[in-house]
Amino acid sequence: DGAPTIGGSRVALRGSHLIRTTGTVHIGRYRLGDAAAGESEWEADGTERECELVSFSSTEVVAHVPPGHGGRWRFTITTRGLTSRPTSLEMTYDAPVVTSVEPATVPTRGAQVVIRGFNFGSDVRDGAVSVGGVACTSLVSWNESSIA
């Protein structure tokens, strides 16, 4: 299932020997490490973010996911200095949806347009805009529901 890019969706992670007193849940992208190259079994790609912990027990952890975009996100749980393997199931943030573009026509030399919709992400680094395969390079603003 997908989650809105603004974050806040609840996720329940079930297992055994989870958090009893305190701990953290992280979401990130991981790949299998290369043991011959001295890498750990699972290597993170630097995208890890902490999730807001809602409730926890030794068999279930509930957390809110942070804002994000794209797919192939996995969860890890850390308690008492020990971190779980990344979950086998992956989460994907919902794809962007465009509801309008204003103005509908522009001169061939180009002009500023406003794109409205949702799931754009909160930062220009979350994506890119192109028109007819040509990248738009002068983005003025970017937020969850509007790009100019």
* pLDDT exceeds cutoff 70 at 71: yes
The whole-number pLDDT of residue 1 equals: 64
Domains in the chain and their CATH numbers? 2-93 (2.60.40.10), 97-147 (no CATH)
Q: What does the pLDDT look like over 75-116, one tens digit per residue?
A: 999 888 888 889 988 999 999 999 999 999 989 888 899 999
Query: 23 near 62, Cβ under 8 Å?
Result: no
pLDDT, average across residues 121-126:
76
Residues paired with 30 in a beta bridge: 44
The whole-number pLDDT of residue 65 equals: 94
Residues paired with 43 in a beta bridge: 31
Provide φ and ψ at 77, rounded to 5°.
Answer: -120, 130
Question: DSSP states of 20-79 as a string?
Answer: SS--EEEEE-EEE--GGGT--SEEE-S--EEEEEEEE-SSEEEEEPPS--SS-BEEEEEE
The pLDDT confidence band at residue 11, using thresholds 50, 70 and 90, is very high
* pLDDT exceeds cutoff 90 at 128: no
Q: What does the pLDDT look like over 32-56, one tens digit per residue?
A: 777 787 777 777 777 889 999 999 8
Query: 42 near 84, Cβ under 8 Å?
Result: no
